[in-house]
Structure 1
Amino acid sequence: MLKLYHAPQSRSTRIVQLIHEMGVADQVEVHRVVIPRRDGTGARDTANPHPEGKVPLLVHADAVIRESNAIMLYLTDHFSGNPLGRDVGAPGRGAYLSWLAWYGNVFEPLIVMQFCELSHPGLDNTFRDMDTANTRLAEALSTHDYLVDDQISAADILISSTYAWAPQLAPDVPIIRDWIARCLNRPATKAIAESEMAAA
């Protein structure tokens, strides 16, 4: 059985949301752990095998997978045929892989820099800038309801999850705001977010 190490209201929340969206909650054991928080609360949990004490972490037999985009790809490939993924050879597979990688390679660094109010030509040259990132999103959404096509994918859940914890960073671009709302207002996504907030 697959085992996900998860801390509520963290980056691993989007993995739990994906698992529920995929309808495979009965096939993935979610193990809650404690993590150090930015506000100084929490601590490293000895029950968490992540080498840095972070989440998410997925364990499946001898496979240990960390980083949200890698875990999402692993899950959607493992449960092949699920509409949240795009199987090898399927239409949209290339776009799906590209958006998953774009999140970690470009989007999250840009969001963190924006959140921390960091700016430097070297960073802009390496990661682009938020205007460029928003242009990429808007271009994709101008032809489809979601990033890959007209069916939501794990890539949408991954990228839109940023705006669940930092709604103030959402761009004032109607087509992007509409997409964020479509993603965050899905029943499984809302249910997990609300249950974690209530538990907190």
Structure 2
Amino acid sequence: MSLKLYTNQKSRGVVVEWLLLELGVEYERIELAYHTDMKTPEYLTLNPFGKVPTLVDDGVVIYELGAICAYLTDKFADKGFAPALNDPQRGVYYRWLFFMSGPWEALSVDQMRGINIQPDQKMFVGYGDHQDAHRALIQGIEAANPYLCGEQFTTADILVAAILLWQLKIGTLQSDPVIANYLAHIQQRPTYQKVTQLFGDE
């Protein structure tokens, strides 16, 4: 088995597992404990940050959640989890991958650290402030019909939905009708019951 996923059940690795589940791809799952397994010299040679997830594909090492998602989607392009290269929706797909991995991730970390961006600091911060990032999220999701790239369910939906579901669960995001309506479409997918087990919501 060429694919190895180093992860932890309570980590962003759940997003990768959801994607692999949707792709129907076999992989070796290696559970690592925080503070110990992730900090061993052996693991640090794979991921110098000592974090998960990390994907190893026949000697090729990929870390960073968005990069792993993009890599797997392209590797198994025949599964159809991204718009075609000449499809206008490809740009929307990329936008969501980078929005969640960049501005939204930065905002989420700042929120957990209790950092509030002041008006005179907004120009130096990629996401502006909480209101800017939240408005971008809602405007983007509101255009979903029913998915982020129209009728095609993509890896972008997995990344966005997984993060939003987790944030709703832990209380760092308040739901509203736009988010609830979007997630309702995701939760109708046949694989969703298996996904809820990954989140520990059996």
Same fold (TM over 0.5): yes
Shift of 1:71: 0.3
Query: Could you tell which deviates more after superposition, 133-142 or 108-117?
Result: 133-142
TM-score (norm 2): 0.81
Q: Kindly, what percent of the aligned residue pairs are identical?
A: 29
The yes-or-no answer on 1:133 pairing with 2:133 is yes
Of 82, 85, 102 in structure 1, the residue corresponding to residue 82 of structure 2 is 85
1:141–1:175 Cα contact (<8 Å) kept: yes
Of 172, 184, 191 in structure 1, the residue corresponding to residue 194 of structure 2 is 191
Residues 96 and 195 (structure 1 numbering): CA distance in 2 closer, same or farther, change over 3 Å? Answer: closer
1:6 partner letter: T
Deviations 1:92-119 (A, max 9, x none): 1111112111112201111222233211
Consecutive unaligned residues of structure 2, counting only runs of 5 or more, are: none
Consecutive unaligned residues of structure 1, counting only runs of 5 or more, are: 37-41
Query: 1:39 aligns to what?
Result: none
* RMSD (CA atoms): 2.6
Shift of 1:130: 2.8
Query: 2:172 aligns to what?
Result: 169
Shift of 1:175: 1.0
Shift of 1:178: 1.9
Query: 2:147 aligns to what?
Result: 146
Shift of 1:79: 0.2
2:182 partner letter: W
1:59–1:65 Cα contact (<8 Å) kept: yes
1:180 partner letter: L
2:194 partner letter: A
1:160–1:184 Cα contact (<8 Å) kept: no
1:44 partner letter: M
Of 164, 177, 181 in structure 2, the residue corresponding to residue 178 of structure 1 is 181
Of 54, 64, 69 in structure 1, the residue corresponding to residue 61 of structure 2 is 64
Deviations 1:152-189 (A, max 9, x none): 22112212222333212334431122223433564434
Residues 98 and 175 (structure 1 numbering): CA distance in 2 closer, same or farther, change over 3 Å? Answer: same
The count of residues paired between Structure 1 and Structure 2 equals 192
